[in-house]
């Protein structure tokens, strides 16, 4: 008998509900008669904060903790802010609450989509950026110290041994998994160790963890040089691992390389929980227009299925993830062009094409 898994769904704000609903439909189609997903739609986000004063209700946290996995679309609205001016970002609270320390941002080209690079190797990218997701410069959120006379502001970056060790272990494990499938077997630590002591500390922990993984090559790169190389020769990368803020910035660069924010999925993974969501935000500029590209959402759904399959040793889930990714590839190879890339296809067209491309 096929198994059932409880999935917490947070559609959030802006284009969030427009892309999560078709994602649920596509996931059901690839699972077909296999494992069932028991969905719990949960309120959270900037709209919820505006209406109720709460961005991430405790009842949502209880359901999220009890779920086998969490699928989140996007949260935040530019005009809805906390009294101190910060945007509402319960997805960041969720990462910290559930200790989702490793943010996986795969940068894999989808055939036929095309990117901004003229070199044909730019259309065959396949590397992964792993972003620390619970501390770093984001640890200063909500704790900025502004001088009483208004003359300065200070945010603090936090790097801990425990979060760094588990982050680097996840990066080396990922490199080994990729190497088993023909990958390069290289992990690059991206930092600014030449300027800030916190990054020198980060790098020293990377070196310690690297010593336990002699089968994987360890490299180092300063973040500025990495930005340059991600545009100049991104095909040379395998696994990049970095601090929270650097990862936030570089993952948008990675998304641009594969055709835009609407193509880039992500997974925030901890030891006991995981949240899957597109790299992009709520795209308020196109919300309600039908122009949203749901591909990153679909690919985040595929990552959820694969992670659940690994965790529960359920091959049917891994096969469904493969089917979903293959359907996305086929749909774009057959000529889909998202509005992001100047084409005519929005959420309805892309969803229909992916559904039609699913093979059983
Ligand atoms: P955040 O700070 O939450 O990451 P953001 O304000 O930086 O969000 P996004 O919401 O990611 O930015 O949007 C950046 C740009 O990319 C916008 O022009 C938006 O319309 C576009 N965009 C983002 N996601 C998509 C998508 N799924 N489909 C089409 N365009 C998108």
Residue 281: CB within 6 Å of ligand 1?
yes
Q: In whole angstroms, what is the distance from residue 183 CA to residue 202 CA?
A: 25
Q: In whole angstroms, what is the distance from residue 82 CA to residue 344 CA?
A: 37
Please name every residue paired with 12 in a beta bridge, in sequence order, or none if there are none: 74
Residue 76: CB within 6 Å of ligand 1?
yes
| This prediction's pTM | 0.93
Residue nearest to atom 3 of ligand 1 (CA): 281
Residue count (the chain):
360
* 355 burial level (CB within 10 Å; 0-12, 13-18, 19+): middle
Which alpha helices (H) appear in 212-266, and where do they start and end?
A: 223-232, 244-257
Residues 210-250 have pLDDT tens digits of 999 999 999 999 999 999 999 999 999 999 999 999 999 99
Residue nearest to atom 27 of ligand 1 (CA): 262
Residue 288: CB within 6 Å of ligand 1?
no
Residues 1-55 have pLDDT tens digits of 679 999 999 999 999 999 999 999 999 999 999 999 999 999 999 999 999 999 9
Taking residue 124's Cβ as centre, other Cβ atoms within 10 Å add up to 12
Residue 280: CB within 6 Å of ligand 1?
yes
CA of 256 to the centre of ligand 1 (A): 11
Give φ, ψ of 33 to 5 degrees: -90, 10
| Beta carbons of 189 and 242 less than 8 angstroms apart | yes
Residues 341-352 have pLDDT tens digits of 899 999 999 999
Q: In whole angstroms, what is the distance from residue 262 CA to residue 281 CA?
A: 10
């Amino acid at each position: 008998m096929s198994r059932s898994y409880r999935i917490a769904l947070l559609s959030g704000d802006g284009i969030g509900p427009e892309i999560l609903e078709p994602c649920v439909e596509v996931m059901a189609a690839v699972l077909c008669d296999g494992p069932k997903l028991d969905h719990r739609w949960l309120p959270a986000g900037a709209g919820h904060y505006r209406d109720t004063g709460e961005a991430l209700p405790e009842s949502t946290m209880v359901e999220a903790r009890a779920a086998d996995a969490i699928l989140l679309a996007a949260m935040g609205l530019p005009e809805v802010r906390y009294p101190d001016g910060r945007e509402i970002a319960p997805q960041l609270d969720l990462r910290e609450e559930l200790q989702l320390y490793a943010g996986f941002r795969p940068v894999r080209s989808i055939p036929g989509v095309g990117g901004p690079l003229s070199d044909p190797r730019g259309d065959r990218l396949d590397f992964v950026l792993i972003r620390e997701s619970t501390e770093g410069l984001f640890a200063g959120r909500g704790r900025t110290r502004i001088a009483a006379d208004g003359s300065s502001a200070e945010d603090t970056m936090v790097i801990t041994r425990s979060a760094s060790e588990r982050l680097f272990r996840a990066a080396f494990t990922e490199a080994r998994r990729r190497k088993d499938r023909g990958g390069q077997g290289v992990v690059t630590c991206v930092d600014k160790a030449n300027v800030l002591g916190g990054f020198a500390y980060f790098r020293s922990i990377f070196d310690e963890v690297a010593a336990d993984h002699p089968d994987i090559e360890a490299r180092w790169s300063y973040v500025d040089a990495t930005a340059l190389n991600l545009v100049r020769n991104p095909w040379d990368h395998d696994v990049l691992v970095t601090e929270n803020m650097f990862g936030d910035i570089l993952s948008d660069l990675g998304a641009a390389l594969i055709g835009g924010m609407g193509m880039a999925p992500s997974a925030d993974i901890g030891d006991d929980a995981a949240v899957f969501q597109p790299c992009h935000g709520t795209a308020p500029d196109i919300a309600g227009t039908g122009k949203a590209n749901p591909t990153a959402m679909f690919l985040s759904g595929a990552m959820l299925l694969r992670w659940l399959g690994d965790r529960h040793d359920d091959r049917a889930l891994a096969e469904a993830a493969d089917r979903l990714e293959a359907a996305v590839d086929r749909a774009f190879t057959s000529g889909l062009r998202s509005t992001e890339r100047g084409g005519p296809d929005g959420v309805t067209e892309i969803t229909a094409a992916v559904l039609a491309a699913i093979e059983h």
